[in-house]
Structure 1
Amino acid sequence: MSIIPLLTFVLFTAMVGVISYFKSRDEDLSHSTGYFLAGRSLSWYVVAGSLFLTNISAEQLTGLNGNAFSYGASVMAWETVSVLGLLVMAWYFLPRYLKSGITTVPQFLEERFSTGMRRISSFIFLYALVIGFLPVVLYAGALTLGKLFDVSTVLGVSEMSALWIMITSLGLIGGCYAVFGGLKAVAVSDSINGIGLVIGGLLIPILALIRLGDGNIGEGWSTLITESPERMQAGGTNPEMGIPWTTLLTGMLLIQMFYWCTNQGIIQRALAAKNLAEGQKGLVGAAVLKIIGVSMLVLPGIVAWHMHQKGIIEVPVKTVNEDGSVLLNHDMAYPLLVKEVLPAYLTGFFGAAMFGAVLSSFNSGVNSMSTLFSLDIYKGMIRKDATDEETVRAGKIFGSILIVVCILMAPAISLADGLYTLMRMVMAVINVPIMTVILFGILSKRGPALSGYVGLPFGMAFFSFAHFYLENDYGFFKWHWLHSVGLNFVLTMLVMLAIRYWKPRETPYRQPDSGAVELFNWKYLSAATVVLVGLLLTLYFTFSEFGILAT
C-alpha cells in the first residue's frame, strides 16, 4: 500500500482527535449533565452533524447501496421518510422531553407512567443495542476498512486475524471518545467527521457517473434514465422493487418515528442542545443532510448495477437457486464500486471519513448505553443515593466493560448467519411498541401505567407472531412486512385505549416544567417544515413517470 493513503488517513484522523480534545477539554465531566449531556451546551450545527453521523456507518453505506443495487431507487425511503421523523421530533417530542429535563427516554416513561416502566424500558434498550447494534457496527466497519486498506496483506496475517485487529482497534479508539470524553467529545468529533463523510461520500457517485459515461458525467446520468429507467423509480410502484409507496406513511413512518423520536442512542444529541430552538434547528439541519444522503446511500448502488451489466465491475455470485436463477452478493457492490472509481490518493481521506462514521456510531452507542446504565439502573436501582461523581464513574466502568463485550461478540457475526438474524429480529420486535407506548403516554392524559405494562408486551408479541411465524400472510391476504408494523401500531394503541377507558387515571397527567432550558420554538420552524416537505414531494415527483422518467 502506498504511503500517501496511509498518511492522509492518519492526518485526518489525528486532526479530528486534536480538535475534539481542545473543544471538550474545559467541559466539567464530573457531574452527570456535563458527562452525559455535554452540559446542555450543544449548538445546532453540532446537533445536526452528530445526528447525521451517528446514523451513518459502514453497514448503512454498504447495506443500503447493496439494496439499491438489487431493488433500485425505492429503497431511498429509508432516507427520505426519516425527514418526517425528524420533523415530528422537532415539533412534538423534543419540546416535551426538554420541558421534563430528562437525560434518558426511560426517565420520561417513569415520569409519565411509573418506575417499573422505566426499569423495563432501560433493560430493553440495553439488551437490544448491545445485542443488535454495536457488534454489527464494529464488524461492518472492520470488514469495510480492512478491505479498503488490504490489512491482511499489509500485515501478512490471515483474513480472520485482520478482522480481529480492525475490530479491536475500532472498539478501543471509539471507546476512548465515549468513556473518557463524554458526549461533548463524541458530538464534536461527529460533526468534523460528518464534513469529511459528506465530501467523500458525494465524490463516489460523481466519480462513478463519470466512469459509467466513459469520462462524461452527463452520459453516465443519461444511462441511468434511459437504460432500465424503472430502477430510478422512487415510488416503488413495482412490488418487486424494494419499498412499495403504500408503506411510506404506514410502517416506514412509524419506524422512522421510533428511530428519530424515541431511540436513546439518537435523541441524546438533541437533548443536549442549548435550548429548544437550537435543538429544532439541529434537527432541521439533520433532515437536510438526510436528503443529501440519498446521493451517497442509494445512487452509487444503482450506478453499480449498470456497471455490473456493462462488465465494468463484477459483483460475485452469492448463491444459485434451485430454479437456476443467480443471486448476487449485493453487499459487495459498494466496496467494488469504490475500489473501481476512487483514485489512490483519495483512498486515505475516504478511509478516514469511513473510519469516523464507524467510530461515531459505535462511540455514540457506548455513550448512550453508559447513560442508561448509570442513571436508570445504577442510580435508579442499585445505589439511589449515589453522588454525581459516583454515577459518572459507574458509567465509565460499564462503558469499558461494554466495549470488551462488543469486541468479543463482533467476529462471531462472520461465523453464523443465525446470530445476525437474531440481532435484526431484536430491533424489529421492540422498536414500534416502545414508540407506541411513549406516544400514547403523551396523547392520553388519563392513560394509566397498566396501559404501558400491557401494551408493550402485546406489541412485541404480535409483531413476532405476524412477521416471523405467519410471515405476514394472514390467510386471505399477504402484504409487505411494513404494513404489519402499521397494523401492530393500531392494535397496540387500541389495547391501551381499552385499558384507559376501563381503568383510567384518577387525575389527568400534567407534565412538570424542569426549567432546564429555554422552551421557545425556533421562529423559522414552520417555514423550514414547508420547504423540507416540498423538497420531498419534488424528489418523488421528479423520479417518477410524471418527471424525468416520463416516456
Structure 2
Amino acid sequence: MHIHWIDLTIIIVYLLGITGIGCFSGRHQADSSSEYFLAARSLRWPVIGLALFATNISTVHLIGLASSGYSDGMVIGNFEWMAPFLLVLLGLVFAPFYFRTKIATLPEYLEGRYGPASRTILAFMAIIAALFIHIGVTLYAGAVMFQSFVEIDILWSILIVSALTLAYTALGGLKAVVVTESIQTVLLLLGAASVTVFGILALGERGIDSLETLREAARPNQLSMIRTDGEFAWYVMLLGYPVLGIWYWCSDQTIVQRVLGAETERDAQIGPLFAGIIKVLPVFFMVLPGVIGYVLFQDQIADNPDQTLIVMIQELLPVGIRGLVIAGLLAALMSTVAGALNSTATLVSMDLVKRIRPQTADHTLVRIGQVTVAVVLAIAIAWSTQGERFGGIFKGINQMISVLAPPISAVFIWGVLWKRATSQAAICTLVLGFLLGAAVFCVDFPAVSGFFLGYQENGDPTRLFTKEWGIPFMMQAWWLFLTCSIILVMVSLMTPPPSEEQVQRYCWSSPLASITEKPIEGVGDPRVLSIGLCLVIGSLYYIFA
C-alpha cells in the first residue's frame, strides 16, 4: 500500500456508495426502453449540463491535462476553452432537431436526413468510438492511477472498477448514469480544485508568489495559451479542433444522449450551455496543476509526465483530502465509462436489433442492451491492457479521435446546414472517410504502426505523418475533414436532391435560421445565453493569452 488507511476507507465507502445510489436511482428503469435508454425523457437542464461535463471529464482528462500541462504548458487548455463554442453549436443548431424529431439515437437522425444505410454505418462507427476511445483508454488511465496508490496488478484494477460501474449501468440505464454523474461532477471539481490550491500554497513556500515569478520558474512559453508554431499553434487549433468538436460534442452518442433525454426543447438547449460554463474551470483546476508540477517536482516526474497528477496528490495533499481526490478520479472514470456503456447499449438495441427485427418486444430490447453493456465492457478491458502503447494518454485519445471524427463531422454539419446534401453522398463520405482515417491511424498511431510497420532500431514505432511528414494530429483531422467535405459536395451535386419533406424536417432552411426562426424571449433565451457564454470565453482569452 502507498495510501493511508483513512484515505483507503474514504475511497471504498465512496465506490460502494455511488454504486448503491446508481442502483437505487435506476430501479424500475428497465421496465421500458424509453426509461432505460432515455430516462423517460425527463432530464432538466442542470442535470444535462452536469452529466455532459462528467462524461467529458474522465480520468483521461484529469491525468492527461496535468500531463500535457507539464510537458506542453497552458496551451493544452485550448481544448477546454474552445469546447463552449461547440456546445453553443449543439444547443442552437443541433439540439432543436434532435428534440423535435424525438429520436433515440443519432444514427436515427441520419436515417431521417440521409436514409437507412447511413444509420447503419454511423451506428457501427459510434460503437467503435465508444469501445476504443471512451471506455478502453479511460479504463487504462484509471488503472494507472489506482495502481500508483495501491500495489495491485493493473488488470485487477481495471476489473474492480469495471465491475462496480457495470452494476448500476446495466441495471439502471441512463437515469442511473446521469444521477451518479451529477454527484461525481461536484466531487471531481472539488478534488481538482484542492490540488490547485495546495500546489499554489507550495509555490508560495518556495518564494513563487506571483504570475511573473511562476513564469520565470516554468519552461519558456509554458504559461502561454497561444502559440505561433508547433503542433498546438493557433491556426492548428482553429482549423483542427472544430472537426474533433463537431463529432464529440454534437454528433457522438455517448455525449449527446443526455440531450436526447431532455424534458423540453429549452432543457435540451440550455443544458449544453451550462456545461460550457463549467468548461471554464478545467484550465485552472486541471491544466495549471501540470505547470505547477513541473516547477515543484520535475526531478521526480522527469520524462514520465503522465505521473504528474499522481505525484502532486502524493506529495501535496494531507490524509483525508487525498482520499477524496482519488475518489474524484475514480468518479471521473466511472462516469465516462458508464455513459459510453449506456450509449453503446442504445445503439445496438435501437439501431441494429430493432431495425433488423422490428417486432422485437420492448423488454427484450432492454435485455439485449444489458447484455451489450457486459460484452462491450469485456472487449474494452482487453483493449485497455494495451494502454502502455498509447504514448501520452491525452494526446493518444485525441489522435484516435482525429482520424475517426472527420467523416462524421462532415455529414452532420453539411446535413443540418445544406439542403442539397444527398443520401448517396453521405454513404460515400462515411465509408471512404472511415477507410482513409483507418489507413492514417494504422500508419501513424504507435500502438498500431509498431505492429504493422515494425519498430526502428531505437525502439520507437515508425510514425510517417507526425514525425517524417510533420503533420500534427489536428491538422490530420482538418485535411481529412476537407477531403470528406469535397467528397460529400461533389457526390451531392452529381446525384438527385433529397425530397422537400425530408429537408424541412431535418435541415435548417438557411445557415442562420437557427438564430432567426423566432423572436428572442428575454435574457433566458438560449441565443442570449449563448452570446453571454461566448463573451465570457473571449474575455478569458483576452486576459490569459
Q: Could you say whether these structures have the same fold, taking a TM-score greater than 0.5 normalized by the shorter chain as the test?
A: yes
CA–CA separation in structure 1 for the residues paired with 2:528 and 2:174:
31
Shift of 1:214: 0.5
SS in 2 for 1:298: helix
Residue 188 of structure 1 deviates from its aligned partner by 0.3
Across the aligned residues of Structure 1 and Structure 2, the Cα RMSD in angstroms comes to 2.9
**Aligned-partner residue type, residue 4 of structure 1:** I
* Residue of structure 2 equivalent to 1:106: 107
Instruction: Map 1:204-283 onto structure 2 (within 5 A).
Output: 204-214=195-205, 219=209, 221-228=211-218, 230-237=221-228, 239-240=229-230, 242-283=231-272
Q: Does residue 200 of the first structure (1) align with residue 200 of the second (2)?
A: no
4+ runs deviating over 4 angstroms = 415-426, 461-475, 519-522
Alignment partner, residue 491 of structure 1: 483
Q: 2:311 aligns with which of 326, 336, 351?
A: 336
Candidates 291, 295, 304, aligned match of 2:293: 304
Amino acid at match of 2:236: T
Q: 1:288 to 1:373 in 2, by over 3 A?
A: same
- Residue aligning to 1:134: 135
| Matched-pair contact (CA < 8 Å) for 2:74–2:283 | no
Amino acid of the residue matched to residue 496 of structure 1?
A: L
- Name which of 405, 426, 449 aligns with 1:431: 405
Q: TM-score, normalised by structure 2?
A: 0.86
The 5 A counterparts of 1:60-99 are 60-99=61-100
1:215–1:472 CA distance, 2 compared to 1 (3 A): closer
CA contact (8 A) 1:100 1:511 kept: no
Q: Could you say what secondary structure the match of 1:248 adopts? A: helix
2:539 counterpart residue number: 538
Post-superposition shift, 1:420?
Answer: 12
Aligned twin of 2:474: 482
Deviations 1:289-308 (A, max 9, x none): 11111112210111111113
Give the drift of 1:466: 6.6
Match of 1:6 in 2: 8
TM superposition shift of 1:225 = 3.5
User: Do 2:306 and 2:392's aligned partners in 1 also have CA atoms closer than 8 Å?
Assistant: no
419 and 360 in structure 1: CA distance in 2 versus 1, 3 angstrom threshold: closer
**Structure 2 CA distance, aligned partners of 1:506 and 1:35?**
34
Partner Cα distance (1:473, 1:14) in 2? 44
Contact 2:26/2:171 (<8 A) preserved: no
CA shift in 2, pair 1:74/1:422, >3 Å: closer
CA distance in 1, matches of 2:393, 2:185: 30
Q: CA deviation at 1:278?
A: 1.2
Aligned residue for 1:404? 378
Change (3 A) 1:221 1:441: same
Note the residue ranges of structure 1 that are not aligned, 5 or more in a row: 153-161, 317-327, 514-518, 545-551
1:322: which partner in 2? none
Q: CA shift at 1:492, angstroms?
A: 1.9
Residue by residue over 1:168-218, the C-alpha shift from the partner in whole angstroms, topping out at 9 and shown as x without a partner, is 1111111112110110011000000110000111110110111122077x7
Displacement of 1:62: 1.1
Cα shift at 1:107: 0.6
CA distance in 2 between partners of 1:367 and 1:483 (Å): 32
Q: 1: distance between equivalents of 2:392 and 2:189? A: 34
What's 1:183 paired with? 174
- The alignment partner of 1:386 has SS state of coil
Counterparts of 2:167 and 2:385, CA distance in 1: 21
2:345 to 348, 360, 370: 370
Name 2:116's counterpart in structure 1. 115
- Over 3 Å counting, the alpha-carbon distance change for 1:362 and 1:440 in structure 2 is same
State the shift of 1:164 in Å: 2.1
Q: Distance in 2 between matches of 1:403 and 1:168?
A: 10
% same residue: 25
Cα drift, residue 71 of structure 1: 1.2
Aligned position for 2:151: 151
Shift, 1:333, TM fit = 1.6
Q: Does structure 1 retain, via aligned residues, the 8 Å contact 2:411–2:429? A: yes
Which deviates more from structure 2 when the two are superposed, residues 32-41 or residues 397-406?
Answer: 397-406
1:250-284 Cα offsets, whole Å, 9 max, x none, are 11122111100001110001111111111222111
- Alignment CA distance shift 1:418-1:50 (3 Å): closer
Give the Cα–Cα distance (whole angstroms) in 1 for the partners of residues 353 and 13 of structure 2.
Answer: 39
**Cα distance in 1 for residues equivalent to 2:64 and 2:395:** 15
Given that 2:47 and 2:178 are in contact with CA atoms closer than 8 Å, whether structure 1 keeps it comes out as yes
What whole-Å deviation, never above 9, does each CA across 1:41-66 have from its counterpart, x for those lacking one?
Answer: 11211111111111112222111211
Match of 1:388 in 2: 362
Query: SS of the counterpart of 2:103?
Result: coil
Q: Distance in 1 between matches of 2:393 and 2:58?
A: 20
Q: Which moved more, 1:353-362 or 1:531-540?
A: 531-540
What SS is found at the alignment partner of 2:499?
A: coil
Does the CA contact (< 8 Å) of 1:131 and 1:423 recur in 2? no
Letter of the structure 1 residue corresponding to residue 162 of structure 2: G
The Cα shift of 1:129 comes to 2.3
In structure 1, C-alpha distance between the alignment counterparts of 2:243 and 2:26, rounded to whole Å: 35
1:50 equivalent in alignment to 2:51: yes
Call closer, same or farther: CA 1:308–1:2 in 2, change over 3 Å.
closer
Give the letter for the 1:502 counterpart.
Answer: M
| CA deviation profile, 1:225-265 (whole Å, cap 9, x unmatched) | 3444621111123x24x511112321112211110000111
d(CA) in 1 for partners of 2:390, 2:17: 38
Distance verdict in 2 for CA 1:167–1:135, change over 3 Å:
same
Matched, 1:440 2:414: yes
Q: For residues 14-56 of structure 1, what are the alpha-carbon distances to aligned partners after superposition, in whole Å with 9 as ceiling and x for unaligned?
A: 443444444443x542211110000011121111111111111
Q: Does the Cα contact within 8 Å between 1:134 and 1:406 map onto a contact in 2?
A: yes
Gap change, CA 1:262 and 1:481, over 3 Å in 2? same
1:44-102 Cα shifts (integer Å, max 9, x gaps): 11111111111112222111211111111111111111111111000101111111111
User: Is contact 2:422-2:497 (8 Å) kept?
Assistant: yes
Task: Select between 399-408 and 364-373 the one with higher mean Cα deviation.
Answer: 399-408
For residue 163 of structure 1, the aligned residue among 154, 160, 167 is: 154
- Relative to structure 1, the CA distance from residue 277 to residue 419 in structure 2 (aligned partners, 3 Å threshold; closer, same or farther) is closer
Q: 1-side partners of 2:530 and 2:15: how far apart?
A: 35
Match of residue 159 from structure 1: none
Query: Structure 2: how far apart are the matches of 1:409 and 1:455?
Result: 28
Aligned mates of 2:391, 2:216 — CA distance in 1: 38
